[in-house]
Structure 1
Amino acid sequence: MAAVGMTMSLRSSTTLKGEFCGAAVRQSVAAPKAANVAFAVRAGQYDDELVKTANTIATKGKGILAMDESNATCGKRLESIGLENTEANRQAYRQLLVTTPDLGDYISGAILFEETLYQSTTDGRTMVDCLNANGILPGIKVDKGLVPLTGSNNESWCQGLDGLASRTAAYYKQGARFAKWRTVVSIPNGPSELAVTEAAWGLARYASICQDNGLSPIVEPEILLDGEHGIDRTLEVASKVWSKVFYFLAENNVLFEGILLKPSMVTPGAECKDRATPEQVAEYTLNMLKRRVPPAVPGIMFLSGGQSEVEATLNLNAMNQSPNPWHVSFSYARALQNSVLKTWKGQPENVEAAQKALLVRAKANSLAQLGKYSAEGEAEEAKQGMFVKGYTY
C-alpha cells in the first residue's frame, strides 16, 4: 500500500489601510509562511481488481456459498450423517458442492477452507477450476480461529495476523480472489470494551493486509445469537461494533469500494421469548446499517448464524422490499447446506439429488436478494432452527 505526499501552499498577503490621529498609516499584515499539508493517497497495485472482485460478488440475484468449515467443523457435519471425518469424505462432500450444475446462476462466490483451495476432485480437476468453470469466484478463510481473550469477561479474540501477508500472497497465486475473517462478539458476556476494540482492530489489520495482496476482504464481526436479550439490545451492540470497525478500517487506509461486509442480522437473542417478524428484523437491521456503513461498500452479505433455512431467507427477502444503497445478499453456510447433507447421506447414488437440494436453497436466496421470495411450498424440515448454544466453529 503506498502513500503519496502532496504539498499545498497557502500564500496570501493583505494590506490594510487605516487612520490614526488624522495621519494615514500603512500597515502590512503578512500571511503565515507556506504550510505543508500531507494527504494520504492510496495507490495500491490491486485497487482496480479489488473493486471489480467486490462488485462481481455483489451481482444482482447472487450471493456467497460459505463452505469454509475447518476440518474439525466439517467433521461434525459429516458425523451428523454417519460419516467418518476423513480427507476422502471431506473431498467427496466439497466436490459435490463445487460441481453442482448451474450453481453459478445463483452463487457468485464460494469461501473455501485452505484444504479445499489446494484440493482436486476425483477426476483430477482442482476445486478452484470447478468453481471458475461455473462462473463462481473462489475465496479463502484466512483467520486461525478464536482463542480466549485475556483480561476480558470470558470473551474471545481471533488469531491469524502473524504470517498473513505471505499466506494471502500464496492464496492469490493459487486462484483465490477474496478472503474471509470471522470474529465474534457475545452480548451475554458484556460485551467488554476490550473485546469490541480487539475485534474491530483485528478486522481492520486483516482487511488492509488482504488488499495489499490482491484479495478483497469480507469483514465479519458476528454478534452471536446466544442470550435472552431483546432486539433493541442487539441493535445497541451491533451499532457500537460497526462504528468501531469502520473507524479502524479508515485508520488502516482500507479501500471501502474493495471490501464486502458479512454482518449478523439484528434479531433478538435465541432464547428471547419475544420473537421478531421478518419485517422487524429488516427494519432494525437496515436502520443499523444506514447509520454505520458507508454507501461506498458494494455488498452486505449476511450470515445466517443458526437461523433455520427458511427464516434466514425470509429475513433477507424482507430487507429487499425497499431500495437501499447496497447489494443486500447472503453468505450462508448451514442455511444453504443443511438440506444438502441430509439428502446426500454420504451415498454416491444421492449426489444428484443433493445437488438439486443445493440449487433449491440457492435459488430461494437468489429470489430473496431480488425481494421476490415466498416460503410457500417449503418443506417443514427447512423451517427447523439450527441454533446451538455455545456453538464453536
Structure 2
Amino acid sequence: MQQDQLNKMKNGKGFIAALDQSGGSTPKALANYGVSEEAYSNEEEMFDLVHQMRTRIITSPAFDSNYILGAILFEQTMDSKIEGMYTADYLAEKKGIVPFLKVDKGLAELSNGVQLMKPIPDLDETLKRANERHIFGTKMRSVIKEANPSSIKAVVDQQFKLGKQIIAAGLVPIIEPEVDIHSQDKEKSEVILKEELLNHLNALSETDHVMLKLTIPTVANTYKELTEHPRVVRVVALSGGYSREEANEKLKENEGIIASFSRALSNDLNVSQSDEEFNKTLEEAVKSIYDASVNKK
C-alpha cells in the first residue's frame, strides 16, 4: 500500500469516479454513450469500445486530481493501456489519481431480500495481478432490497470475509452493500446495515483499514458514526439510480461522505460530441459532484 495514496484517500478533497461497468452493464453504458450494439459483433470488440470511452474520460483535462481522488476500474481496463501505460500507472503517474479495481463477479440471484456476491474463486490471483498493476484498493458490490436482519448480516459477513483476504494482500477493500433506492423499507435496512458494519469494524485489528461505499441514506447523517470510525479510510456514496442533481442534493446533507458516482458522472457524455463539447460536459459533471462532496449543508 502506498502511504501517500492512503493519505490522499483519507484526507483529500474530492470524490471517486466509478468507471467499472462490467460485462453485464457494458452494453447499457455504451448505448448511453451513443454506441449501439450494432457497432460490435463480439465481447472483445465491445470491451475495446468501452476502453476507448474510458480513455477519453481519463485523458480529458476535466478528469483532474484537483477534483477527483480516485477511479474504480474494471479488470479489462486494468489490463489495458492508455498512451502506452497500463491504466493504473497512467492514473497515478500522469493524473495523480488513486486506482481501484472492481473484483466481484456480479450478483447471485435474489434470496430472502438480498443479493449476495457470486463466488470469486480466482480472487487471490486477481489480487496478485492487481499488485503487479499498482492498484491501491478494490471494490465489491452486494445489494439489499428488504430489511431482513439475518440476510443483511449475511451480506456484511461475506463482504468482510473477502475484505480480510484483500487486506492480507496489501490492498484496501471498498465494502459496498448497496441498499436499493426503491426498497419499501430502505430506512429500516440502513439502520440494520449500520449496526452490522459497526460490529465488523469494531472487530478489525488496528492495522486493518477499509472503505465503505453506501447508498445515500434516507435519514441524513445515518452513517456519520461510520465516517468517524478509526478503521474506516473513507465513506463514499453511490448514486444508485438517482439523477446527478438529486444525488448531489442528497449527498450535501451527509457530513463526511463523498461521492463515488458512475452513471451520474458520465450520463451526459456522447461519442458524437466534439472534444470541446465532451470536455465541457465532463467538467460540469465533475465540478458539481465535487461541490456536493466537499460543501455540506
Normalising by structure 1, what TM-score? 0.67
How much identity, in percent, do the aligned residues show?
25
1:234 maps to 2:186: yes
C-alpha distance in structure 1 between counterparts of 2:75 and 2:259, whole Å: 22
Q: Does 1:171 align with 2:123?
A: no
Equivalents in 2 of 1:88, 1:259: separation in Å? Answer: 32
Bigger mean CA offset, 198-207 vs 160-169:
160-169
- Unaligned stretches of 5+ residues in structure 2: 41-45
Name the residue aligned to 2:100.
Answer: 139
Q: 1:295 aligns with which of 226, 229, 233?
A: 229
Q: Deviations over 1:40-90 (max 9, x none)?
A: xxxxxx5xx4x6544312444311000101033121121232433523311
Q: Deviations over 1:99-136 (max 9, x none)?
A: 12252111010000000001113x43332232121110
Residue 224 of structure 1: CA displacement? 0.4
Q: Could you say what the CA RMSD is over the residues aligned between the two structures, in angstroms?
A: 2.4
1:140-174: CA deviation from partner (whole Å, max 9, x where unpaired)? 0011111126xx43642112443322321221111
| Number of residue equivalences | 286
Distance in 2, Cα, partners of 1:155 & 1:290? 24
Larger-gyration structure (1/2): 1
Q: 1:109 aligned to 2:70? A: yes
**1:101·1:134 contact (CA, 8 Å) conserved in 2?**
no
The one of 279, 290, 297 equivalent to 1:366 is 290
1:75 matched to 2:27: yes
Q: Partner of 1:266 in structure 2?
A: 217
C-alpha change, 1:317 and 1:245, in structure 2 (3 Å) is: closer
3-state SS of paired residue (2:105) = coil
Q: Is the 8 A contact 1:207 1:254 kept in 2?
A: no
Residue identity opposite 2:88 in structure 1: V
Is residue 141–residue 175 contact of structure 2 (8 Å, CA) maintained in 1? yes
Which amino acid letter does the alignment assign opposite residue 331 of structure 1? S
Q: Is the 8 A contact 2:142 2:176 kept in 1?
A: yes
Residue aligning to 1:338: 267
Mark the CA change 1:124 to 1:60 in structure 2 (over 3 Å): closer, same or farther. closer
Counterpart of 2:195 in structure 1 is 243
- Aligned equivalent of 1:97: 57
Counterpart amino acid of 1:83? Answer: S
Out of 43, 47, 50, the residue aligned to residue 87 of structure 1 is: 47
What's the offset of the Cα at 1:299?
1.5
How far apart in 1 are the matches of 2:226 and 2:16?
A: 23
Q: Which has the higher contact order (CA 8 A, sep 6+)?
A: 2
SS of residue in 2 equivalent to 1:235: helix
The answer as to whether partners of 2:227 and 2:235 remain within 8 angstroms in 1 is no
- Name the residue aligned to 2:43: none
